Amino acid sequence: TACSSKYVLSPMHPMWQGPLAVPGGDRQSPIDIVVRKSIFDGELKPLVTSYDPHTCQQIWNNGYSFLVEYDDTTDKSTLKGGPLKDKFRLCQFHFHWGETNAWGSEHTLDRKLFPAELHLVHWNSDKYSLFEEAVMEDNGLAVIGVFLKVGKRHEGLQKLVDALPAIRHKDSVVEFNRFDPACLLPTNTDNYWTYHGSLTTPPLTESVTWIIMRQHIEVSHDQLAVFRSLLFTSAEEEVQRSMVNNFRVQQPLRGRTVRSSFI
């Protein structure tokens, strides 16, 4: 079901960070959000998430990050509201992080780097019938981005952290159920920035409405250290490489406007 886009590269291809800018791409992600240049839009609504923990299926290492995948064959776990006109189905969430707490996020706020960033990936189930279809369309996907800061231990995250040693290597999968992704959202989801962008890993398609939360979540140093114990490489490979710095370089804004839901 690999996307048929012309930008699909194998995960091990040196350009997995993708070309610096996709040829002809004028809405690439991630970007730096210049807070004072974002435009308040009073039409932006609160986000409405309704996630069913029972639709959680598995957690696996895809060689870029680790993904928690949800059953998206029905409208059980959905996102609507915010900047969105349609209803979007949750298909997976994953993270990006650094080798140290000094960096790791894909987006930045006035150039401020966070140690990690959570992405909750949804596709437009009002308009399309499969993720693979939606990924090719300009209103196909909606990704919620949440910044992580190092501080107190995140109790909800621990269940996920405890599963990571079982998926250390690329392509390892374990069954994972009853996880409510809502526990990873900040307490305030009314304040966010939104802009039109792309996937930050191949196929890099320009199909994403990004919704970046203003409020971060806190995780402990030890919890983040377990993320860094994952490997980019499969069990067979002779040289093992730690899964760290799995973020893309930032992309030009190309005149895009970043809107805010708050003043």
Q: Which residues bind ligand 5RD (CB under 6 A)?
A: 2-3, 119, 121, 132, 135, 143, 199-201, 203
Cα 122 vs. chain centroid, distance in angstroms? 10
User: Residue 221: helix, strand or coil by DSSP?
Assistant: helix
Say which entry of Zn ion, ligand 5RD, none residue 161 contacts (CB below 5 to 8 A, set by partner kind).
Answer: none
Closest CA to 10 of 170, 202, 207: 202
Q: How far is the CB of 1 from ligand 5RD (least distance, A)?
A: 6
Rounded distance between C-alpha atoms, residue 172 and residue 243, angstroms: 14
> 228 by DSSP, 3-state: which?
coil
Q: Which of 190, 215, 203, 218 minimizes the C-alpha distance to 248?
A: 203
Q: Are 110 and 32 in contact (CB under 8 A)?
A: yes
Cβ closest to ligand 5RD, residue 16 vs residue 158:
16
Binding to Zn ion (CB under 5 A) within 104-123 occurs at 119
Residues 30, 200: contact at Cβ < 8 Å? yes
Smallest separation (angstroms) from Zn ion to the CB of 36: 26
Interacting partner of 140 out of ligand 5RD, Zn ion, none (Cβ under 5 to 8 A depending on kind)? none
CA distance to 129, 136, 211, 245, per residue, from 121 (Å): 15, 14, 11, 20
Between 128 and 210, whose beta carbon lies closer to Zn ion? Answer: 210
Residue placing its CB nearer to Zn ion in the complex, 95 or 152: 95
User: Which CB sits closer to ligand 5RD, 182 or 220?
Assistant: 182
Query: Between residues 62 and 220, which has the closer beta carbon with respect to Zn ion?
Result: 62
Smallest separation (angstroms) from ligand 5RD to the CB of 236: 22
Shortest distance, CB of residue 106 to ligand 5RD, whole angstroms? 7
Interaction site with Zn ion (CB under 5 A)? 119
